[in-house]
Structure 1
Amino acid sequence: MRHSPSKLVRDIGAVITSIVVAILLVQTGAIQTFLNLSESMNILGSFVAGLFFTSVFTTALATVTLGSIAVANNVWLVAIIGALGAAIGDFLIFKFIKEGVAEDTNALMAHSRRWRAILHLRFFRFLLPFLGALIIASPLPDEWAL
């Protein structure tokens, strides 16, 4: 599949825009306010904080929120509901970003035959998804796995 330069520019623009929006949301306190509101709704708050836990930009706020909810509630219930939210957040990130990122990476590397040949080895077909799954399962930022 051919990948047009305009899609690449659009995708890079979307990433830059999302970073700027995330920074603005953190600096204005909008995310903190939203997470504070969700704290009072224990189960929903745990789920929403879990959703926010998956991104490197919102992990710290989500951790504080989950900790605050866990102090006043059953720790195991908060952990399970938060993990469910994080799993759904991971799925959403993987679903909406992975396909576009793979196309962009292929388009950028199309000019390099050596890289293309190396990444198409049978070894990498299994290694790269395995490493991605390990990163997603770890406390490292999930964006690294994509």
Structure 2
Amino acid sequence: MKKRSGVLKYLLYIFVLLLIAGCGQAIESNAGETGIFHPGTYKEKTEGYKGPIKVSVTVDENTIKEVNIIEHRETEAITDDALEQIPHAIVERQSISVDTVAGATYTSRAIIGAVKEALLAAGASLDDITKSVDNEY
């Protein structure tokens, strides 16, 4: 009798585990069905040299349409080039694989990081947004 009740407990345990596993919600991205991204505007922030850098990234199904810096506390005279060039380069190259700006490396990396998070939130895979490109500037 003890052997039989042990087997029943084991089977009940397996049944409960399968039941719980079956109730889980599958997480899927529909981005791949219609394109790289879920169209829209996404906002993200990362820590810059002097505080958070917030970006706004607008995408359609397959294209990074616009990248804007919406808030920062960086020293503008030092980081102006990064604040202008990095968003432009990302849109132009359709990739976050862009060069950093000399003298503003930390700020450049923060902008790229925030854009990366926004594009991932838009449904892109890391492979989609890190295409290798020739960086000339």
Do both proteins adopt the same fold according to a TM-score greater than 0.5, normalized to the shorter chain? no
Structure with higher helix content? 1
TM-score (norm 1): 0.32
TM-score (norm 2): 0.33
Structure with higher strand content? 2
